Amino acid sequence: MQSLYRRSLCLMAILLTLTLHAISQFKVIGYFPTWEGSVSAIQYSKLTHINYAFLIPNSDGSLQAPDDPARLRSLVTAAHAAGVKVIISVGGGGGDVGFRTFSLTASGRTTFVNNMVSFCNTYNLDGVDLDWEYPNAGTQASAFVTLMSQLATAMHANGRVATAAVIGDYGDDSFLSTLFPVADWLNIMAYDDNPPDHSTYNLAVQCLNYWLGRGLPKEKAVLGVPFYGRRDWSGDYGFATLLGMGADPYADRFGDIGYNGITTIKNKTSLALSQAAGIMIWEIAQDATGTYSLLSAIKDVVNNGNTTTAPIGKTIWLKGNNGQYVSSKGNVNPMYCNATAVAGWNQFLVGDGGNGKITLSNGGYFVSSENGEQAMNCNRTVADDWEKFDWIQNGDGTVSLRGNNGLYVSSENGAAAMTCNRTTAQGWETFSWAQVAAARIAASQDSVVSLKTETGLVVYPNPVTRGSELTINVAGYDGKSPLQVTVKDLYQRTLRYKKAGTARVSISTGNLVPGMYVVVITYGNQIFTKQVLIL
């Protein structure tokens, strides 16, 4: 009896170890629908998990018969042979009505969980993914946490996982924070936000910020990406279909249809590598084959780390092959590549320019190619076409920047102002780069955002730690009109706003991502701006 007990403990330890290993690795999760796609066409070697969607629950906790059981068995056999886990996804938009009833009672929840255990045993599945879109606030939201807790307990007892699909950048009332310690991970649906550009890189950042800001551990956050485009809400267009229509595999727009091309998918994967536990795809049957496969693009980034894609959201320096740094020249004079150190003018925030392009900004102003017609400047307040560039990775680890005129940025060897008029990328058109370390940024800020003592304006601390308070003190404030403080990103979008009647105002940085921001202070006809760094 003791020997049997010890063997049972060992088996449970092994199952727990395997479960924890599955949770800790970077996940590439592909939803595979019941209604389309070939089991034999799946690129199993590029996935860690497949979510088979959907199994439909009834209002009493029983389950509808799965579509084509033989297909599901075939999928599990092929996936397991390749070392890929298969999870059954339950519900889905329109198929989740049953949750609203059975989740509200203890008997309904028990019936459902028991049925899921039996279903997983029958089809040799590795877990359950709940896709309820979405619980109502109050009773349903609480019941969902209770259901997930009971399901997770039953799944873990058999070495399986219990996960959930959640809304993108809101949902406090639908998905309570008490769900976080219960679920193994959450699949964040960062798409279908606002067609046609329904799933931008900035939305991915916003969604991760939202969930991580609420307290979801990074190890349980999985970023969702679409393998389809939208014009409106009338339907979608699979990525392979779009390419067949003539869409550019690297762009994000085809006419009035917005989608994610290879460049954006790679950038989102890099974001997930640094800030999440994995990336999720809806859905893999819509992928292209061969060279332009989005799943292949994801795998490239996972294999190679973040070095092959643009460091969007990061502050970097650029160094020409003359060994000197690119300078904004204080947003006043034409740009040169002749700085000897990484100071304030020589730091650039990399932004998402859309359609696979990037922007570069310093001091709240964007770099412009000037369409190749004159020396480059860093003095634009908004990013239009001339302020967008292709980030091209060279074989030697350097990068080249190509303007929307199709020509390359040149350092001019530091002997003249920089231009964007070269037809090929050679020595002067290649740049090394690196992210600016926080300590160096902090040390250099005095030269970038020195206090405007003549106005009596003080903004501190600067840099400020993410999530802490930023204090603004305006000694010259007369108290006659409201003092308004606005925090904007470098795209001039308002992220924080506060109105006060005193000279001293504190405003929270909340869950703003690290980077450069502009604080605008107004009262009466007085307007002051201050560049602030959030670490």
Three-class secondary structure assignment of 353-378: EECCEEEEEECCEEEECHHHCCCCEE
Phi and psi at residue 178, to the nearest 5°? -70, -10
What CA–CA distances, in Å, run from 110 to 60, 97, 114, 150, 421?
10, 17, 6, 8, 68
Separation of alpha carbons 219 and 225, rounded Å: 18
Other C-beta atoms closer than 10 Å to the C-beta of 461 total 14
Separation of alpha carbons 321 and 429, rounded Å: 8
Runs of H (alpha helix) within 226-321: 239-245, 262-275, 294-304
**Burial status of residue 391 (CB atoms within 10 A of its CB: 0-12, 13-18, 19 or more):** buried
Separation of alpha carbons 48 and 314, rounded Å: 28
Query: Strand, helix or coil at 207?
Result: helix
Angle at 428 between CA 378 and CA 341, to 5 degrees: 60
- Residue 204's closest CA among 259, 251, 287, 267? 267
Separation of alpha carbons 394 and 409, rounded Å: 14
Phi and psi at residue 78, to the nearest 5°? -65, -40
Please check whether residue 89 is in contact with residue 283, taking contact to mean a CB–CB distance below 8 angstroms: no
Per-residue pLDDT of the chain (535 residues; tens, 9 = 90+): 445 445 544 544 444 444 444 444 899 999 999 999 999 999 999 999 999 999 999 999 999 999 999 999 999 999 999 999 999 999 998 899 999 999 999 999 999 999 999 999 999 999 999 999 999 999 999 999 999 999 999 999 999 999 999 999 888 899 999 999 999 999 999 999 989 999 999 899 999 999 999 999 999 999 999 999 999 999 999 999 999 999 999 889 999 999 999 989 998 998 999 899 999 999 999 999 999 999 999 998 888 765 456 888 888 999 999 999 999 998 889 999 999 988 888 999 998 887 778 999 998 899 999 999 999 999 998 999 999 999 987 767 789 999 989 899 999 999 999 999 999 889 999 999 988 865 344 333 333 333 233 345 677 787 778 788 888 877 777 777 788 888 887 656 677 878 888 888 888 888 787 777 778 887 776 777 777 878 7
Q: Which residues of 65-78 are buried (b: 16+ CB within 10 A; e: fewer)?
A: ebeeeebbeebbeb
| Token pair in block for residue 75 | 């999928």
Phi and psi at residue 516, to the nearest 5°? -90, 140
Q: Which helix (H) or strand (E) holds 53?
A: strand 49-55
Angle at 220 between CA 215 and CA 222, to 5 degrees: 110
- Beta-carbon contacts of 466 under 8 Å, excluding residues fewer than 6 positions away, are 509, 511, 512, 513, 514, 534, 535
**Burial status of residue 142 (CB atoms within 10 A of its CB: 0-12, 13-18, 19 or more):** middle
DSSP letters spanning 448-507: HS---TTTTEEEESSSB-TTSEEEEEETT--SSS-EEEEEE-TT--EEEEEEESSSEEEE
- Residue 399's closest CA among 432, 427, 424? 432
Please check whether residue 223 is in contact with residue 268, taking contact to mean a CB–CB distance below 8 angstroms: yes
| Token pair in block for residue 339 | 């700085």
